[in-house]
């Protein structure tokens, strides 16, 4: 059986390392221009070099996103950028605009090209057209059904295809959306989306400005534009047998907790399926893990046809049951760990350690050592974000494993 690549977002160097620690076969990242995620702390040229070196040592592929649609006035800057990155050995560029493809061809004619979902490929004739242009792989539009995916893969032999399996969905057609431009002047199609589809709204009658009619779906108000998040974990078998070459996870702007938690689940689910497809079952604990993350309710999107109201999130904005509180920087020996704290923790907290392969251990915090601004570590019962602590645990963990705690409510 062919083994699809598990392709993960890498919004910065830390996220890249976490993605690889938790089992990504390939990562995609953006430079500081033309990458459609202007708010992600994107990679400088030096950081790209370091990222590529790291990926090589781990035998992980790295793709660079150049998938915005530049206007005429940006073309000189694009040429300059392409010349700067030309010596970097990315495995492929992810592009959308034919003008960008043409520019890449001039500067780096041998570079493998992957077509971004921004190009909205939804049928096999489009795919064949792109194949004739020398595109090696297409990230299919999220708006395709499984039947359409299968038909497209079958009709364009030699082309590689990617399907999104997890992450946020636009309420409009994959980013073809003007709400952010309209309300904030920030253009989603230039990578500046402010996500106004997730905001809550009131109704105002034209001749009564200032009189807001509440639109109430529940105690949270209304989220009339708010899509649920895509989750195709249960449908890994049909996606693999459809012949797609990569299962892609969305979320370069999400935190390391998201990257780690989603990958550890999909990694194990995919590996178990590939090892024993006939006996594969989607384990409830995998779905429970994904429910612990901040999300807006899950949907299968368009995979089985038009989503209609099942794709709409009417219940609430974000749901999550756990807080991410830290990451292991180093394992020092004798079970002593150097931990970078990301959320306040204190004695008495029940802390879970999560690692690749669904490793999961927990400990109730007692005393630990905290590093102050200066000087030696001192015993403490509280640690705050950005502090580092020394903690000893009675189980085996690895650098890069994450710590989380059940969400404190009230």
Residues at the contact surface with ligand SF4, assessed by CB under 6 A: 170-172, 175, 177, 179-180, 188, 193, 195-197
Across-strand partners of 27?
8, 62
Separation between Cα atoms, residue 395 and residue 236, nearest integer Å: 32
Separation between Cα atoms, residue 63 and residue 8, nearest integer Å: 10
User: In terms of Cα–Cα distance, which of 325, 322, 287, 292 is closest to 402?
Assistant: 325
User: In terms of Cα–Cα distance, which of 56, 55, 30 is closest to 44?
Assistant: 30
Which C-beta is closer to ligand SF4: that of 93 or that of 225?
225
Residue 338, burial from CB neighbour count under 10 angstroms (0-12, 13-18, 19+): middle
Which C-beta is closer to ligand SF4: that of 14 or that of 315?
315
- Please state the closest distance from residue 289 (CB atom) to ligand SF4, in A: 25
User: In terms of Cα–Cα distance, which of 323, 263, 316 is closest to 293?
Assistant: 323
Read off the tokens for 12: 């910065």
Which C-beta is closer to ligand SF4: that of 221 or that of 243?
221
Read off the tokens for 362: 């927990």
Which C-beta is closer to ligand SF4: that of 192 or that of 234?
192
Q: How far is CA 316 from CA 67, 191, 215, 290, in A?
A: 32, 26, 13, 17
CB-CB neighbours of 205 under 10 Å: 9
Which C-beta is closer to ligand SF4: that of 293 or that of 341?
293
- Please state the closest distance from residue 298 (CB atom) to ligand SF4, in A: 17
Angle (CA) 247-195-256 rounded to 5° is 50
CB-CB neighbours of 385 under 10 Å: 12
CB-CB neighbours of 1 under 10 Å: 9
Task: Check: CB of residue 38 under 8 Å from CB of residue 190.
Answer: yes
Which C-beta is closer to ligand SF4: that of 60 or that of 179?
179
Task: Check: CB of residue 233 under 8 Å from CB of residue 265.
Answer: yes
Which C-beta is closer to ligand SF4: that of 189 or that of 360?
189
Separation between Cα atoms, residue 327 and residue 366, nearest integer Å: 18
- Please state the closest distance from residue 229 (CB atom) to ligand SF4, in A: 11
Task: Check: CB of residue 247 under 8 Å from CB of residue 7.
Answer: yes
Which C-beta is closer to ligand SF4: that of 69 or that of 353?
69
Separation between Cα atoms, residue 246 and residue 4, nearest integer Å: 5
- Please state the closest distance from residue 105 (CB atom) to ligand SF4, in A: 29
User: In terms of Cα–Cα distance, which of 113, 119, 135 is closest to 63?
Assistant: 113
- Please state the closest distance from residue 177 (CB atom) to ligand SF4, in A: 3
- Please state the closest distance from residue 300 (CB atom) to ligand SF4, in A: 18
Separation between Cα atoms, residue 125 and residue 133, nearest integer Å: 13
- Please state the closest distance from residue 303 (CB atom) to ligand SF4, in A: 19
- Please state the closest distance from residue 80 (CB atom) to ligand SF4, in A: 28
Which C-beta is closer to ligand SF4: that of 141 or that of 197?
197
- Please state the closest distance from residue 326 (CB atom) to ligand SF4, in A: 29
Separation between Cα atoms, residue 14 and residue 355, nearest integer Å: 16
Which C-beta is closer to ligand SF4: that of 296 or that of 405?
296
Q: How far is CA 138 from CA 65, 247, 286, in A?
A: 13, 12, 28
Which C-beta is closer to ligand SF4: that of 117 or that of 261?
117
- Please state the closest distance from residue 174 (CB atom) to ligand SF4, in A: 8
- Please state the closest distance from residue 199 (CB atom) to ligand SF4, in A: 9
């Amino acid at each position: 059986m062919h083994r699809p690549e598990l392709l993960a977002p890498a919004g910065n160097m830390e996220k890249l390392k976490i993605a690889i620690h938790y089992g990504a076969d390939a990562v995609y990242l953006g430079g500081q221009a033309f990458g459609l995620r202007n708010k992600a702390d994107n990679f400088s040229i030096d950081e790209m070099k370091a990222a590529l070196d790291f990926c090589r040592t781990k035998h992980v592929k790295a793709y660079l996103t150049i998938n915005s649609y530049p206007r005429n006035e940006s073309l000189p800057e694009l040429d300059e950028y392409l010349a700067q990155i030309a010596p970097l050995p990315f495995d492929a560029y992810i592009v959308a605009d034919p003008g960008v493809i043409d520019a890449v061809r001039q500067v780096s004619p041998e570079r493998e090209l992957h077509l971004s979902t921004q190009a909205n490929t939804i049928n096999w004739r489009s795919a064949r057209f792109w194949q004739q242009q020398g595109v090696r792989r297409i990230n299919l539009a999220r708006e395709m059904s499984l039947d359409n995916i299968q038909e497209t893969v079958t009709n364009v032999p030699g082309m590689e295809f990617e399907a999104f399996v997890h992450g946020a969905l636009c309420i409009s057609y994959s980013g073809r959306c003007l709400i952010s431009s309209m309300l904030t002047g920030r253009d989603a199609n230039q990578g500046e989306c402010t996500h106004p589809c997730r905001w809550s709204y009131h109704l105002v009658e034209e001749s009564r400005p200032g009189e807001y009619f509440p639109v109430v779906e529940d105690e949270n108000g209304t989220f009339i534009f708010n899509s649920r998040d895509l989750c195709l974990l249960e449908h890994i078998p049909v996606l693999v047998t459809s012949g797609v070459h990569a299962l892609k996870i969305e979320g370069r702007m999400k935190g390391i907790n998201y990257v780690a938690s989603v990958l550890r689940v999909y990694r194990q689910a995919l590996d178990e399926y590939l090892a024993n497809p006939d006996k594969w079952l989607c384990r409830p604990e995998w779905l429970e893990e994904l429910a612990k993350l901040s999300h807006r309710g899950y949907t299968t999107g368009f995979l089985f046809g038009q989503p209609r109201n099942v794709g709409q999130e009417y219940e609430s904005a974000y749901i999550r049951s756990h807080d991410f509180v830290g990451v292991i920087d180093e394992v020092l020996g004798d079970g002593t760990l150097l931990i970078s704290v990301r959320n306040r923790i204190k004695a008495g907290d029940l802390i879970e350690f999560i690692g690749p392969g669904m490793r999961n251990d927990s400990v109730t915090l007692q005393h630990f050592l905290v590093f102050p601004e200066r000087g030696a570590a001192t015993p403490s019962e509280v640690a705050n974000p950005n502090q580092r602590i020394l903690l000893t645990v009675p189980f085996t963990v690895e650098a890069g494993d994450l710590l989380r705690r059940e969400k404190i409510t009230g």
